[in-house]
Structure 1
Amino acid sequence: MTSLFTQEIRLSKRHEEIVSQRLMLLQKMARKFGGQNTEKAPQVQAAETAFKRNRSLLKDIETAEKSLQTRIHPLPRPEVVSLETRYWASVEEYIPKWEQFLLGRAPYPVGVESQKEAEKNIENEAE
């Protein structure tokens, strides 16, 4: 029984040593990582500041780009807008006719009897 008691005391002392070593290691780790966190704080702050600055610069560049676009390409005159609108209306009107021709379901849509005649007419005009 005495041997068990002495063994219990020895194990208890060893346990205390291990716990104290663990505590010292945890404190060292806390100091080390705490120091790293305090070192990283200014870096994080600098990164956030740079991000905000870059976002502001990007907005300024986009604003300048829009301003230059309106100077370089002003809005078209009303006559041009009218012509463009009529052109696209004409295109939309002829799309179904050309679509059927291109799918091979209908004849050449331009009022010529065949595509070969149209090609001959184009060749004659080029000469």
Structure 2
Amino acid sequence: MSSLFTEEICLSKRHEEIVSQRLMLLQQMENKFGDQNTEKVSQLQAAETAFQRNLSLLKDIEAAEKSLQSKIRPHPPPEVVSLETRYWASVEKYIPKWEPFLLRQAPYPIGVEHQNEAENTILNEA
């Protein structure tokens, strides 16, 4: 009987050792999990800060690019702007006549007999 009692005591001590090791491991796991969460939060904050910094840098680069482009290509003189405006107005006027030809749905819109008329129209508009 005493051997059973001794064995019971040994098993009880062993059980207490295992339970204390388990508690210690659980505590370590909780600490590690807390450290991982803290690290994740820190990484997310660093990523957000980097993202905002990159956006700011991108805006600065775009602003600098626009500034440089405006310096490279100065505004054209008023005569050129006027010519360009009249040119596009003329193009828009003749698009309906030329569109079927350009889409290969009709023959050349200005025949030989109308060519002088078209030239006169263009010269009169200029």
Matched, 1:53 2:56: no
- The Cα of 1:36 is off from its aligned counterpart by 0.4
Task: Give the structure 2 partner of residue 97 of structure 1.
Answer: 97
Which residue identity lines up with residue 50 of structure 1 in the other structure? A
Task: Return 5+ residue gaps in structure 1 as ranges.
Answer: 1-19, 114-127
SS in 2 for 1:74: coil
Which residue identity lines up with residue 54 of structure 2 in the other structure? N
SS in 2 for 1:47: helix
In 1: Cα distance, 2:108 partner to 2:40 partner: 74
Which residue identity lines up with residue 109 of structure 1 in the other structure? P
SS in 1 for 2:112: coil
Count of aligned positions: 93
Q: 1:49/1:104 Cα in 2 relative to 1: closer, same or farther (>3 Å)?
A: closer
In 2: Cα distance, 1:101 partner to 1:51 partner: 53
Which residue identity lines up with residue 81 of structure 1 in the other structure? V
Task: Return 5+ residue gaps in structure 2 as ranges.
Answer: 1-18, 114-126
Matched, 1:81 2:81: yes
- The Cα of 1:27 is off from its aligned counterpart by 5.5
In 2: Cα distance, 1:108 partner to 1:59 partner: 50
Which residue identity lines up with residue 100 of structure 2 in the other structure? Q
In 2: Cα distance, 1:60 partner to 1:69 partner: 14
Task: Give the structure 2 partner of residue 110 of structure 1.
Answer: 110
Task: Give the structure 2 partner of residue 67 of structure 1.
Answer: 67
Q: 1:41/1:108 Cα in 2 relative to 1: closer, same or farther (>3 Å)?
A: closer
In 1: Cα distance, 2:97 partner to 2:39 partner: 72
Task: Give the structure 1 partner of residue 6 of structure 2.
Answer: none
In 2: Cα distance, 1:63 partner to 1:71 partner: 13
In 2: Cα distance, 1:104 partner to 1:42 partner: 66
**Cα RMSD over matched residues?**
2.7
